[in-house]
Structure 1
Amino acid sequence: MSEVVVFFFSGFKYYICIYICAQMVLTKKLVLGLLYLCLYLSDSSCANEDKSFYCLNGKVIDLEEACNGIDNCNDNSDERYEVCVRNSCEDKFRCNYGGCIDIEKRCDGSPDCWDQSDENKYECASSDEIAGLYAGLKGNCPGDFEFECKIGNTLGCVRMSRVCNGIFDCNDSKDEDVEICSAVPCMNEAFRCSTGACIRSDKVCDHIPDCADGSDELDDVCLENKFWHKPITEEVEKPRPTSPDILEITEEKEIVIAQKSKWLRTFCKIEDDSGALIAEDYFTSNTYKTGATVGKNGVVHVRCKSGYQLVGEEFKFCNGTHWNTYWPNCQRVCKLKNKLSLQRECKNADDSIDCDASTINLKGTEMKVSCASGYESANAEHTFAHFRCESSGKWEGNSSLPNCIPKCGIFWDAYESTLPWIGSLFQRGKHPQFKYTSSVTILSPFVVITSAHVFKESSIPEVNSTEPLLYAIAEGKHRKEFSPQDEHGYVLHNISQIHIATVTIKETVQKLAILTVVQPFIFGPNLRPICLDFGASYWNSLGSYNLSDVGEFIWEQRNKRYYLTGIVASWNEEYHISAFKNDLIPFINLK
């Protein structure tokens, strides 16, 4: 009998609903009529009885399947924090994000929450393990209720009451770590942030982020949208009618909507499609979560994670409904490492750009790499390569970089009087005046050699004669002394190291000075190294030299290139450069 009554009552309300709707159409009060009717008959067919959950990908599942720890939508939209955060779970285990699973599945060794919070080591620790975990959190802090973390550039201590309160007190964010905080129980009336921290419920949706990640100010959380409803139809978005009869109804409808969405005030929204944007409150340094809102007059500092570049202004001001200028975004970038031997040509969207003006380039940048001026490819069939900056942040190409080596031993006839591999060594005196000491021969971008006898005496007795700060190398052949405080026209290179290489040949000790420079030589037609010949076996021969020639170098021409082959050891002896091969190669291979 009771079932018949229920059926009759339900059917009666159905026909009442149809009747009233028809009357409202005739009186042009359809919207108001339906509104009041559905509020009164909230459990009837006029009310929203759709027990389905609409996934973001368009899939429809049962409402009961949402927030159960299982990705039933296949895009995880039914297990989102915004959807599940207000779940209490009653007699079930509540995952950190709000999903509910059977209590028996907690700490069973297999994660059932998608965020694995049911297998959290702090949640599942035995009584014997808790003391050890607590000691790990306490670290070297002297107090019983203190927490060790990085404060500034060193380790420091904060009170345990400051841990998991939604505010970053540690520079390394350890005090708001989700693994620690998700195991901390929240009071019944407290709100749990997506990091697991607990904040007062009256702090939620006040347009001031109290969670460290701003999850208490997420638009979807604060509007309490019913995620299982279908998307709002375009009817709601239509302009307000001007008819007096319908205007009154529309205003009344808007009042009801406003009451349901009291939090919907003037605000600006944090947006990010890249997943790399970091937005922080300018005054509190609290970090906003993507989708969170900022109240009127809020100021936000925006930056990007490593590997991305901010396009737009880094400081934004919310004027109530809009940001003061367009919202910035983070674009993927590829890093560039400068290499002396290579030159690059870049373009982005058919516009040529200067690759070398920045150490990073935006995604989509195309780059052609070839040998720089003063260098040539070791493989005549592989002289260049093409690359593209991809969304992974890496340069992708169909070939490797060309192996570019210096063009050695070549000079133009017009510069025959000044060989491009010759430089001049100057020594500083007690006064800031540099005097010519000897010539040097350039072997690589960072290495020159000269005679070792140059470093027998120091111009300043108190300073060792091999102290690099006493010397400077000028590009080209120059002998006129100069002061670094005056204009002199020399291109100078400071010296970082002076190495005296020593070998014994036929019971005679021979020495060679190997110098490395701080700033590399930039090779081109007027400046390049001499070629080295290590291929021949050691030899010595007799000659006739002036005493001033001792320590000078001997070179010879082969196939239009000049090779350094020997050293004048005495007035009547010369030795092949291969005698110093073991000392020279480690320096020449300097990157």
Structure 2
Amino acid sequence: MFSLALLTLLLSTTNILTQSEVRFICKSGHLLSGMEKVCNGHADCYDGSDELAELCARTLCPPEYFRCHYGACVHRSKKCNGVRDCVDSSDETNCGRKRNSCNPSEFNCGYHGDDTDLYRYCIDGSKICDGTLDCASGADENKTICENALCPESSFRCNYGGCVSESVLCDGFVDCLDGSDESHVLCITLKCPKCTNFIVTCPPLVENNIKSNRILKKCEWNGHQIPCTLNILPGTRVTYACKDHFKPKSPQDWNNDWNLCQADGTWLRDILECEPNCGQHNTRIQSIANESPLTMPWHASVFVVEQNQQPKYICGATLISEAVLVTAAHCVWKSNAKDLRISLGNVKTEYDDPDDFLARYYEVNEVKTYLSYLDQLSNYGSDIALIELTRRVDIDQIISPVCIDWDLDDITSQDTNDEIGITVSLKNSTSSSFLHVTKIPIVSHQKCVAKQPPEFRKYLTFSKFCAGWANGTSVCNGDSGSGLTVLRSHGRYFLKGIVSVSPRKKSTDQCDPNQYTVFTKVGIYVKWIENYLNYINERDNLLLSEEPSSQFPWK
């Protein structure tokens, strides 16, 4: 299945999807308007990620369409017509060798001649998008083909996508078919870089942008190192790599260690994208209930400030990125963001405890509860919320996010009865409360229903699952919002559930540790979570673009 970490539908900030707002996000980050461009046989994304087999494999084609080997749909009239309409050329395989057909290393210019003498002719593949018309029809310099071509170093990308040498820019001769190598703005920039009214620059690699802040970078212009946070001049070369505790987001980024600002103010290639090394824990967790204080790198404590009093502990939460945490909606749905405080790396539940020397504290920018959450009115269904911090978390060995399976849309198909999950819960002592790690098994829905009191079963909605020992060891009061993680491939922990509700002892407000605890299924909400993360990134980019830097390195 295609990774939803790299592909999603971009929703509006109100989470209401309309036809005009449907967008496809390429792996490179470019947006395509309209889903009709996805799996249509033609690579509309710069990197071809709209035509990958893992995305198109489950596409169903209408009867009048031919299914490409990787899954895309093209009209049957295009099968064996001598033109590649599937990106894998499967529409032109098993057609038999035709007269005047082309070799794999050649480009087919299509039909040429009149109605009485039609024939195909071929050109060498190296002549595609080189700025010169080699096909009489101009097919080799077609914008649809050329806009996805990657120009080599020391070359210039024409506006339509073709590539020409930098040495021919503004030499008085049109080398790009569209004349973009001789444009007025470009030539003013090259001949008079101090004429700032006409200056063309590449977007800066700003520090307060999440994606940019994940990489180590060095920018050089005209033999001098310059800040990467200023407007980037054409000719600036940037070298970069993922920071410690981060890794390239996709295999396409493994060798992406440099870039070049082109003369038209665009980067030669997509900027390196990195992601945190999520779900890693350095301490081996062995016991069922750890009696000593111990927390997880992604576990957070949520506090509320009431009437200027010392922040009071209310719930747990789980870090999923440098900016966002997941918690239970009932913990925060009535709270103002400005009244909340977050602690990471702490083992005590007292705010700013002097013994918590590794703890870091954050204020909250926004709280986003799931749209359909109605608290008790909906039996705590969709009990999930997102918390955005006002400043970004520095990822290191002490604090790092948990992994989320972005391909998941439910956990039912992956549930294994008695699979062990790990959560962080409160442990009370005579002097204070501290956090410790607890292992509990996930139980089947049938087993959970049979065990729970009849009056409690209304809380076992489709968005919930149960876990626990039902033997006196359990997550309990104050553990709401904490995450339940499971160990998956490559020794990484993935977030599977959020502590939601549990039965109470009769005539008390205390949980019953001899009953199972009910968790919110994170798998149902991964698209909603990912859309929110994308919204934050897009919002930051828009805010930055509204206030561009006026500084230039030559001043």
Scaled by the length of structure 2, what TM-score is found?
Answer: 0.40
Scaled by the length of structure 1, what TM-score is found?
Answer: 0.38
**Bigger relative CO (Cα 8 Å, ≥ 6 apart):** 2
Larger radius of gyration: 1
